[in-house]
Structure 1
Amino acid sequence: MADQASHVGPYPEGVPCWVDAQLPDLEAGKRFYGGLFGWTFGEGYGTSVWAYKEGEPVAALAPKVNGRMPTVWTLHFATPDATALAERIETHGGRLITTPTRLGPLGATALATDPESAVFGIWQPGTHQGFGRRHEPGTFAWAELYARDTKVANDFYGALFHDALFGPGASPDFGRADLAEVFPAEMPPHFLVHFGVTDAEEALGTVQRLGGRVQVPPFDASYGRVAVVTDDQGASFALLQR
C-alpha cells in the first residue's frame, strides 16, 4: 500500500485518522516504540509527545493522569463536526466519556464508547489533520474491533459512518470480529490498533528484546498476518504483516 502511505488533507468522516497511547512512563514509551518502529519524537499538545516516521506524524504518547486509567492505545475517527457526531453517538446507543473539547488550533476531540463499551475517540481537524503517513511499516495499518455481538457493532458503526464503511470506494481501515475467536471470554470488547511490519516474526523478537511480551502468537486474518503484543508497560497493540 505504498501509494497510500503519505496523506495530505482531512480524512473523510469515519476513517481512522489518529492513535495515541496513555502510558505511566513517557520516556520508557519513547525508548520502546523508537526501538521497535524507528519513531522519532517531538513536542505534542500539553504533556504529550508526537511520534514521527520520516518526518511525518504517526501517533502520540501521553502520560496517564492517574493510576486508575488503563494503559492503552486509543483509536480516533475523523469527523468534520465533533459536536454533531457526539450527538449521533448517544442517539444510537453509545456513551460520551468526554464531551467535545478544543485543543487550541489543532482541532477538537472527544472520547466515547459504543453500545458494548468499546472505547474510541473522535477527531475534528484544525491544523492537525491526523496521520501524515500510514499503511506502511512502522505506521498505523488497521484497527480491529473485537465485539461480543458483531451485529450490534455493525449496526452502530454503520449508522455513524455509513459512507466510510459501505459507500462508493469505501476504505474504512477497521473491521469487526468476534471477541471469543481470539481472546478469553473475560476480555472486554475493545479496538485493537495494528501497526505495519515487514516481518512479523522479526518484529516479535524485537518486542521481546525491548521488554514487551507476546499476547497472541501470529495468526492469519483476512487482512494479513497478525500478532497481538503488549509493550513494556502493558499497552496492547498488534503487528500486521501484509
Structure 2
Amino acid sequence: MDAQLADVEAGKRFYGELFGWTFEGAYGSSVWARLAGEPVASLAPKLDGRMPTVWTVSFATPDAQGLGRRIVAAGGQLVMAPFPVGDLGVAALAADPEGAVFGLWQAGGHHGFGRRHRPGSFVWAQLYTRDTAGANVFYGGLFHDALFGEGARPDFGRSEVTEVFPAEMPPHVLAHFRVADLDDALGAVQRLGGRVQAPPFEPSYGRVAVVTDNQGASFALLQR
C-alpha cells in the first residue's frame, strides 16, 4: 500500500504523529513507513502534479504480467503496465471495468506488509462500486483463492454506491487503517490538518470513519 503525495515530508509528519510510524529511504524518492520496525506502507512523491493525491492498495501476485493480461481480458485495463522497482519487485497499476484503481505487486526483495490488522497498520480494503454483481465476477475470477479459498483471511469487501453517496463519487478502493480508539484518532486527524469526510458509521466489519490527510488523500479509520 502506498500514498502518492505532493509533499512527502509533510506526509511523514502527518502519518508519523497519527500512527506512530517511522520512516527510511526506500526506492528513488519514496520512503518506507515502519511500525515497530516492520514495513506497513510507503509514501512516494507524485511524478506529475496532475496526478491524484491517493492511497493505492496493491494485490500480491506471483506473475504481474500474466495477471495484467487476465485483467484486460476480464474487461479491466492496465493504467501502468508491469515495471521493475529495482530488486524490490515488479509493480503495475490497474483498473476494474468501472474504473476503480488498484495496484499489483510481484515480490522480489520486498514482500509487502510486515505488520497488518494491528493499530497503526492496514486492516481492510473496501471497494465502492455501482455494479456489485459485476464486481463479484471480476474480482472473484481474478482472486478467488485469495478472497474465498480455504484459510483465506478477509481483508477485502465491497459496498454498493447507492443514492446516499454523492452522484460524482467514482467507484474506488478505500484503504482502512486500524486504530485503537476511533474518536481519539479523528481528533488527531483534524489537529494535524486533515478533515473528516464521513463521520463514524458501523458496517459489518467494525466502526469506521472516512478522512483525508493534510494533502487530500482519502483513507478510512477502523476500530474493531
TM-score interval, normalised by the smaller of the two chains: over 0.9
**97, 120, 132: which is aligned to 2:79?**
97
Q: Does 1:208 align with 2:214?
A: no
Distance 1:92 1:49, change over 3 A: same
Deviation at 1:181, TM superposition (A): 6.6
CA distance in 2, matches of 1:28, 1:182: 33
Deviation at 1:31, TM superposition (A): 0.4
Q: Does 1:28 align with 2:10?
A: yes
**Aligned residue identity for 2:100:** A
Deviation at 1:65, TM superposition (A): 1.0
Structure 1 equivalent of residue 200 of structure 2: 218
Structure 2 equivalent of residue 12 of structure 1: none
CA distance in 1, matches of 2:24, 2:92: 23
CA distance in 2, matches of 1:140, 1:83: 26
Deviation at 1:56, TM superposition (A): 0.6
State the secondary structure of the residue aligned to 2:187: helix
CA distance in 1, matches of 2:167, 2:92: 29
Deviation at 1:103, TM superposition (A): 1.0
**Structure 1 gaps, min length 5:** 1-18
CA RMSD of aligned residues (A): 0.9
CA distance in 2, matches of 1:199, 1:211: 19
Residues 105-138 of structure 1 show CA distances to partners (whole Å, capped at 9, x for unaligned) of 1010100000000000000000100000000000
CA distance in 1, matches of 2:163, 2:173: 14
Which fold has the larger relative contact order, with Cα–Cα distance below 8 Å and residues 6 or more apart in sequence?
1
Figure out how many residues of one structure are paired with residues of the other and give that number: 224
State the secondary structure of the residue aligned to 2:92: strand
Q: Does 1:187 align with 2:169?
A: yes
Distance 1:48 1:182, change over 3 A: farther
State the secondary structure of the residue aligned to 2:210: strand
CA distance in 1, matches of 2:113, 2:14: 20
CA distance in 2, matches of 1:185, 1:28: 31
Structure 2 equivalent of residue 54 of structure 1: 36
State the secondary structure of the residue aligned to 2:112: coil
State the secondary structure of the residue aligned to 2:57: strand
Deviation at 1:182, TM superposition (A): 6.0
Q: Does 1:229 align with 2:208?
A: no
CA distance in 2, matches of 1:47, 1:187: 31
Q: Does 1:87 align with 2:69?
A: yes
Distance 1:240 1:182, change over 3 A: farther
Q: Does 1:143 align with 2:88?
A: no
State the secondary structure of the residue aligned to 2:78: strand
Distance 1:181 1:41, change over 3 A: farther
* TM-score, normalisation: structure 2: 0.98
CA distance in 2, matches of 1:182, 1:230: 20
Deviation at 1:55, TM superposition (A): 0.4
Deviation at 1:28, TM superposition (A): 0.5
CA distance in 1, matches of 2:207, 2:163: 15
Deviation at 1:183, TM superposition (A): 3.0
CA distance in 2, matches of 1:182, 1:156: 25
Identity, in percent, stands at 71
**Aligned residue identity for 1:132:** G
**Aligned residue identity for 1:218:** P
**Aligned residue identity for 2:182:** A
Deviation at 1:170, TM superposition (A): 2.1
Distance 1:181 1:106, change over 3 A: farther
**Aligned residue identity for 2:196:** V
Distance 1:182 1:136, change over 3 A: farther
CA distance in 2, matches of 1:28, 1:229: 17
Distance 1:94 1:25, change over 3 A: same
Moved over 6 A (4+): none
CA distance in 1, matches of 2:27, 2:165: 34
